[in-house]
Amino acid sequence: MKHVPLLINGEFKNSDATQHIDVTNPANNEVIAQAPCATEDEISQAIASAKTAFETWKDVPVTERARLMMRYQALLKEHQKDIAETLAQETGKTFDDAMGDVWRGIEVVEQAMNVPSLMMGETAENVARGIDTYSYTQPLGVCAGITPFNFPAMIPLWMFPLAIACGNTFVLKPSEQDPLTPVRLAELFKEAGAPDGVLNVIHGGKEQVEPLLTHPDIKAVSFVGSVPVGQHIYRTATAHMKRAQCFAGAKNHTVIMPDANKEHVLNNLVGASVGAAGQRCMAISVAVFVGEAQQWIPELAERIKAVKPGPWDQKESAYGPVISPQAKERVLRLIDSGKQQGATCLVDGSDFTVEGYENGNWIGPTVFSDVTDEMDIYKEEIFGPVLSIMNADSLDDALTLVNNNPYGNGTSIFTSNGAAARKYQHEVTVGQVGINIPIPVPLPFFSFTGWKNSFFGDLHAYGKQAIRFYSETKTITSRWLEDDIPGGPNMTISLG
């Protein structure tokens, strides 16, 4: 049995933990590794290691920190395929999806390579007579990251490269459901030349998270996961005087106007709704068809019905299983609730298996029409391959529906009318908006900007906001009096 190691002070080591969590292959639920629930002492060691490393790392020139990220980026590209294979086996993602997961993380590391320009301060000369004011951007100290199962490469890479490039050190607690990928990322980071203690990795569940939220040496906490956990982490971390950014649930709508390009809409909605088994916080889970566009619903259902899930290493697999039997049970419960509460099930994937993988967590693509905002399949984040279809008479009606939803992670509109697109992007109360693009995830030189119950905090992930989150501004006002200089300002300095 493979035991997932901890990383403490530059050393990959087996834990002394008495409790372990099985890491399974979701395609067949076979155990492929065991992750330790790190002991209290091991967590303290990881934090202490990061604190000690910070004393020297914060003084490493910013250009050297950027070069570490350059080396790391090169190693991630070199090993992208083997990282993706590990990722696919422990998450169930198809190989192409896993490759994309790694690549989006690499793009954030590329942003971290730009850290010298991102950390520049500001200067104003002569704010008063003979007085100048300028600011520096300096690191915070030890930061922590708590990451989810659905993107075990991308989301850790959202966090620790940017934090460390800013001069901080980091303690990562990845998801206990797929920790092999984050450990591989840490191995390559060490190979790139990261000093001991700059990055530490611990494993476990809620019990291992709590010390990261309360320990006085942790200065900032980043989290991605569910709403209840995100709220708990935000409240606990801030109550202990820490910075916190918590990315939580989503219910992403796309609005289809009747003047949209029909083929473009249908082709994009298939992958955006059921791709990655719907286990994306930016997945389109609600499609709102406006007016005559409702005529396209039967054809959309037929196209989604043709999508076939399968194991990660088969090219014809459109997506993989959901992460666990518990996740499957939850999705099936919500599908059943949709049927019981009056929605029309156009495509039913609740009784789906893959030959040779009958024990896997499979759910076929599922589509409901005639969904209302009072149904559980609308109110809850399903996190499975389920699309809910709703109707609206006008763009204003669609906007009201979207804006009344408690989540605000992502949304999109399909239209050929520029005025309609501008009205939607201006009035919608959602943080990330796509126009004729189904999943509007920004590239890392912008920031990932969920709103409402999709995000708790002030500064978002990656981009310039992440640099602000992982740093502090020091403002200096200086005055040099010429009368204090021996010989005055024209003095001659001897270099002999």
**Catalytic (active-site) positions:** 281
DSSP reduced 3-state for 83: helix
Identity at 5, one-letter amino acid code: P
Question: Closest Cα to residue 422, out of 404, 395, 445?
Answer: 395
Backbone φ/ψ region at 29: left (φ over 0), alpha (ψ -120 to 50), beta: left
The dihedral over CA atoms of 472, 223, 153, 304, expressed in degrees to the nearest 10, equals -130
- What's the CA gap between 131 and 47, in Å, rounded? 41
Task: Write down how long the chain is.
Answer: 496
Identity at 44, one-letter amino acid code: S
Task: State the sign of the Cα–Cα–Cα–Cα dihedral 483, 486, 492, 493.
Answer: negative
Q: Are 222 and 237 in contact, with CB atoms under 8 Å apart?
A: no
Q: What is the DSSP string of 17-70?
A: -S-EEEEEETTTTEEEEEEE---HHHHHHHHHHHHHHHHHHTTS-HHHHHHHHH
- What's the CA gap between 363 and 304, in Å, rounded? 13
- Determine how many CB atoms are found less than 10 A away from the CB of residue 136: 14
- What's the CA gap between 395 and 411, in Å, rounded? 14
Inter-helix orientation angle 80-91/95-112, to 10°: 130
- What's the CA gap between 77 and 247, in Å, rounded? 27
- What's the CA gap between 122 and 118, in Å, rounded? 12
Token pair 């100290």 is at which residue?
141
Q: Are 245 and 461 in contact, with CB atoms under 8 Å apart?
A: yes
Kindly provide the residue ranges of all beta strands, DSSP E only, lying in 427-470, ordered along the sequence: 432-435, 451-452, 455-456
- What's the CA gap between 376 and 334, in Å, rounded? 7
- What's the CA gap between 352 and 339, in Å, rounded? 17
Question: Closest Cα to residue 162, out of 72, 75, 55, 56?
Answer: 72
- What's the CA gap between 72 and 113, in Å, rounded? 10
What are the phi and psi torsion angles at 18 (to 5°)? Answer: -95, -15
